[in-house]
Amino acid sequence: MEKNIISLRGIVAEYDGERVLDGLDLDIRDEEFVTFLGPSGCGKTTTLRIIGGFIEPKEGDVFFDGKKINGLPPYQRHVNTVFQRYALFPHLDVFENVAFGLKLKKMPKEQIADKVEEMLKLVNLSGFESRSINQLSGGQQQRVAIARALVNEPKVLLLDEPLGALDLKLRKEMQLELKRIQQSLKITFIYVTHDQEEALTMSDRVVVMKRGEIMQIGTPQDIYNEPANAFVADFIGESNIVDGVMHKDFLVEFAGVEFDCVDKGFETDEQVDVVIRPEDIKVVPVDEAQLTGLVESVTFKGVHYEIAVDGHGQKWIIHSTLSQTPGTLIGMMVTPEDIHIMKKMEE
């Protein structure tokens, strides 16, 4: 059995009487890379702050390694945080920034030097010891922040959008770097992002949040292939989400056409959301098609064309390696496995 390093039970948080976390339950396993993913304001940072001990939940319990840690101050938790803004000390050089926590602990000087060297090596900054912070690039500053958090040997590292300020290329490099660090140190990373691609690339499991609630917890594959509802499907990748009616098991109607599908267990004629990934719609000759529509626009996206289609008022997005000509009528086809039926969400 894998053990849980952090557990949240019934966590409720409020700011000025307004509820921002509404009863979160979550178990995070030791040595796991878990990502909180969700739109701005959904409560990601608040959840991290509760785990870190910077704010206390209004209701609910936080467990570390099976022990309740409500009320324990941040410095007594085996948890360190890399904040959204790195919060380095600008007047101290790289070495002093990383050494800061160890000096507070009154660790002997030589031991500090060894530890700092080890951490700088880990984040590929050996040789930068005496650089001042404002002589570093954004990515280098970010690495100093990570080294500074890791030097205290936390069991759990909390990272709040640590790569948000970096350009795309550097962000991709740092994603791999962080994953490597996490695997070599064998510690738990709890990572916050609102970038779905980042979440899917880096995580063992993803926690998708919306307005203070968890929508789904799962591996990147689970979340992408079996989204729990239309919100997750939409947030995790581009999707066509259309209104449908589930006539009976394995038979759904949308866009005025009946389709075989693989879902069951709905009420007779239940109103549902039908989710279809843009890459799962095939363009076929009109006389072989299930649906037809007029091509409205075609945009080249590097690996595929994004084709916007108007099917008698119903808009479709298709990703295809073949281009189409705007203004032409095309046929579309979806296999039963690529039709995902979801319960309607109440707004």
Ligand X SMILES: Nc1ncnc2c1ncn2[C@@H]1O[C@H](COP(=O)(O)OP(=O)(O)OP(=O)(O)O)[C@@H](O)[C@H]1O
> Any contact of residue 45 with ligand X (CB under 6 A)?
yes
Residue 46 sits in the site that holds ligand X (CB under 6 A): yes
**Looking at beta carbons only, is 45 or 240 nearer to Mg ion?**
45
Q: Name which of ligand X, Mg ion, none residue 46 binds, using a CB cut-off of 5 to 8 Å depending on partner kind.
A: ligand X
Stretch that binds Mg ion, among 41-49, 122-130, 170-178, 227-235 (CB under 5 A): 41-49
Q: From the list ligand X, Mg ion, none, pick the one residue 42 interacts with, judged by a Cβ distance below 5 to 8 Å according to partner type.
A: ligand X
Question: Which is nearer to ligand X, 16 or 110 (by Cβ)?
Answer: 16
* Smallest gap from residue 84 Cβ to Mg ion (A): 6
C-alpha to C-alpha distance for 193 and 190, rounded to whole angstroms: 10
Binding flag, residue 190, ligand X (CB under 6 A): no
Question: Of 38 and 162, which CB lies nearer to ligand X in the complex structure?
Answer: 38
C-beta closer to ligand X: residue 47 or 152: 47
Query: Which part of the chain contacts ligand X (CB under 6 A), choosing from 34-42, 61-69, 325-333, 336-344?
Result: 34-42
Task: Out of 15, 256, 269, 328, name the contact with ligand X by CB under 6 A.
Answer: 15
**Contact residue for ligand X among 43, 101, 220, 227 (CB under 6 A):** 43
Three-state secondary structure string covering the chain: CCCEEEEEEEEEEEECCEEEEEEEEEEEECCCEEEEECCCCCCHHHHHHHHHCCCCCCEEEEEECCEECCCCCHHHCCEEEECCCCCCCCCCEHHHHHHHHHHHCCCCHHHHHHHHHHHHHHCCCCCCCCCEHHHCCHHHHHHHHHHHHHCCCCCEEEEECCCCCCCHHHHHHHHHHHHHHHHHHCCEEEEEECCHHHHHHHCCEEEEEECCEEEEEECHHHHHHCCCCHHHHHHHCCCEEEEEEEEECCEEEECCEEEECCCCCCCCCEEEEEEECHHHCEEECHHHCCEEEEEEEEEECCCCEEEEEEECCEEEEEEECCCCCCCCEEEEECCHHHCEEEECCCC
Among 38-46, 59-67, 175-183, 201-209, which window interacts with Mg ion (CB under 5 A)? 38-46
Residues touching ligand X, count (CB under 6 A): 12
Q: Which of 42, 145, 150, 232 binds ligand X (CB under 6 A)?
A: 42
Of 6, 11, 26, 45, the residue at the interface with Mg ion (CB under 5 A) is 45
Tell whether residue 44 is a contact of ligand X (CB under 6 A).
yes
* Chain residues that interact with ligand X, rule: CB under 6 A: 15-16, 20, 38, 40-46, 194
* Chain residues that interact with Mg ion, rule: CB under 5 A: 45
